[in-house]
C-alpha cells in the first residue's frame, strides 16, 4: 500500500508517495539522497541513523516514514550554517578528534545536540550514560566525551 507523506526536512517542505513499510532512514537516504545519516545495524542498536523529529533524537531505522507525517525532521546535513560554518557540536568533534572512521559521527552529533539544555555542566559519567544509544567501534569514546562536553558548552 502506498501513502502520501508531507514533512519538513532541514527546513524544506517535502512531499512524496511511498510504500507504507518504508522506514524513515530509507526515505532520507534513498528518496531524498541525504546520505549523511548512516545505517549501521538497522535494528535500533547502534544509533548511526539518529535524526531529530520535532527536536527529539530518534533512530530513523526504527520508524516508518508515516510516523514523521507533518513533522520537522533535522538531519546532519541541516546542522551547519548556510555559509558552510560548522555547527558548534560539529566543530567540537573536529577540534577534539571525536571521530576516527566517522561512521558513527552523524548519529553521535545528532544525539549530542539533543542534550542541549538537558545536561548542564555534565560530568563524563553523565555524558557516557546519555550517549549509550550510540555505538562507536573506533574511538574508545574518550574523545567523544570531550567533544560532547565542549560542544554543549559552546551551544549553551
Partner 1 sequence: MNSFQLHQPKDLGSAASFANSGGDTRFLAGGQSILASMKLGLASPDAMIDLSLVPDLKSISVSNGVVKIGAMVKHADVAANAEVQKAIPALAELAGGIGDRQVRNMGTLGGSLANSDPAACYPAAALGLGATIHTDKRSISADSFFLGLYETALEAGEIITAVSFPVPEKAAYVKFKNSASRFALVGVFVSKGSQGVRVAVTGAGSCAFRATDIETALAGSWTAAACNAVKMTSDNLNGDLHASAEYRAHLIPVIAGRAVAAAK
Ligand X SMILES: Cc1cc2nc3c(=O)[nH]c(=O)nc-3n(C[C@H](O)[C@H](O)[C@H](O)COP(=O)(O)OP(=O)(O)OC[C@H]3O[C@@H](n4cnc5c(N)ncnc54)[C@H](O)[C@@H]3O)c2cc1C
Per DSSP bridges, beta strands 56-59 and 2-9 are unpaired
Q: Please report how close the Cβ of residue 49 comes to ligand X at its closest, in angstroms.
A: 12
Say how far apart CA 60 and CA 36 lie, in whole Å.
12
Q: Please report how close the Cβ of residue 59 comes to ligand X at its closest, in angstroms.
A: 8
The CB-nearest residue to ligand X is 44
**x/- binding map, residues 42-61, to ligand X, per CB under 6 A?**
--xx----------------
Q: Please report how close the Cβ of residue 107 comes to ligand FES at its closest, in angstroms.
A: 7
Say how far apart CA 5 and CA 155 lie, in whole Å.
32
**Binding test (CB under 6 A) with ligand FES, winner from 96, 103, 122, 146:** 103
Say how far apart CA 81 and CA 114 lie, in whole Å.
18
As to burial, measured by CB atoms within 10 angstroms (0-12 exposed, 13-18 middle, 19+ buried), residue 128 is middle
Q: Which three cell numbers stand for residue 19?
A: 510504500
Choose the one of partner 1, ligand FES, ligand X, none that binds residue 104, judging by a C-beta under 5 to 8 angstroms depending on kind. Answer: ligand FES
Choose the one of ligand X, ligand FES, partner 1, none that binds residue 137, judging by a C-beta under 5 to 8 angstroms depending on kind. Answer: ligand FES
* Interface with ligand X (CB under 6 A): 44-45
Amino acid at each position: 500500500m502506498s501513502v502520501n507523506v508531507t514533512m519538513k526536512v532541514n527546513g524544506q517542505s517535502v512531499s512524496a508517495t511511498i510504500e507504507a513499510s518504508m522506514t524513515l532512514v530509507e526515505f532520507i537516504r534513498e528518496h531524498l539522497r541525504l546520505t549523511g545519516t548512516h545505517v549501521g545495524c538497522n535494528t535500533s542498536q547502534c544509533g548511526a541513523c539518529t535524526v531529530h523529529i520535532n527536536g527529539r533524537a530518534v533512530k530513523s531505522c526504527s520508524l516508518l516514514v508515516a510516523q514523521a507525517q507533518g513533522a520537522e525532521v533535522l538531519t546532519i546535513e541541516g546542522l551547519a550554517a548556510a555559509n558552510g560554518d560548522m555547527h558548534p557540536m560539529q566543530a567540537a568533534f573536529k577540534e577534539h578528534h571525536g571521530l576516527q572512521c566517522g561512521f558513527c559521527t552523524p548519529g553521535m552529533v545528532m544525539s549530542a545536540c539533543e542534550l542541549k539544555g538537558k545536561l548542564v555542566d555534565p560530568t563524563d559519567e553523565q555524558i557516557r550514560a546519555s550517549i549509550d544509544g550510540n555505538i562507536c567501534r573506533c574511538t574508545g569514546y574518550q574523545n567523544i566525551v570531550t567533544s560532547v562536553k565542549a560542544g554543549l558548552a559552546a551551544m549553551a
